[in-house]
Amino acid sequence: MASVDVPVALLGYGTVGSAVNRLLTESADDIERATGHRLRVVRALVRDVGKERPFRAEPGVLTTDFASIRDDPSIALVAEVMGGVDPTGGYVLELLQAGKPVVSANKQLVARRGAELFEAASSRGVQLRFEASVCAAIPVVKILRESLVVSNVHRVLGIVNGTTNFILTRMETGASYAEALAEAQRLGYAEADPTDDVSGADAAAKMAILATVAFGSRVTLEDVDASSNSSSGSSARRRWSTAASTCASGRRSSIATIRSPRSRGRSTA
């Protein structure tokens, strides 16, 4: 059986975008054998075409013209790997309105503009896939949307931020918050600017997405209380546990509490 050619465009071609292209290129044969589809990166939106990148794109792939992606009927799929909410959200919205399916791992974008984007996708009959926006190595979104679709999920509980999980583990062994954070940055677990992780913004976005999928009702960032905690010891770890409940709010990892649209009560996880 002949394979299906799938021309792919990327929004962004930095560290993540170039890694996606490398994986698709190096694993093309394996992907084709498993799926019957041959994925090829044919366009990538960048700010500077001449910038050096970890994995060099083929000639003609890099472009600064967004319209060349949006208006190209041959492009079958777009992967958003540029991050941020603006101008990314506008680009994704235009792509969906143009009838192009989009894949994104951008948790802040999905959490903040998900309702608008999913409405646009639905109206054009295309998909916005976002599995990697939460616990990328674990198909938790797929399980909640498909395998548990007829189940009544009452609660989501888990560690959703690896950076704070590492920091809290080190704090349990006696390290201070500053020491644990510095070690996480040295080892590459924490960003140079760890604000989203340690403030709870990352966990809040992930939990808003998970709660929306699990409970079947829109949970926004406004429904999530997020706070940081730099105290030490096991009590801090307990305070940084993560949970969401349909019938009551619960404490969530890396710092957050969900107020479910179905109830505004409060419980301790």
pLDDT tens digits for range 137-148? 788 888 888 877
Alpha-carbon gap, residue 138 to 151, rounded angstroms: 19
Q: Give 48's pLDDT tier (boundaries 50, 70, 90).
A: very high
Query: Does 51 qualify as catalytic in the annotation?
Result: no
Residue 201 has pLDDT above 50, yes or no: yes
**pTM of the predicted structure, to 2 decimals:** 0.78
For 10-37, what is each residue's pLDDT tens digit? 999 998 999 999 999 999 999 999 999 9
Residue 240 binned pLDDT confidence (cut-offs 50, 70, 90): very low
pLDDT recorded at residue 228:
62
- Higher-pLDDT residue of 61 and 168 is 61
pLDDT, residue 35, reads 94
Task: For residue 104, name the pLDDT band (cuts at 50, 70, 90).
Answer: very high
Q: Comparing 46-50, 167-171, 239-243, which segment has the lowest mean pLDDT?
A: 239-243
Determine which one of 100, 107, 142, 206 is catalytic: 206
Cβ contact 248:260 at 8 Å: yes
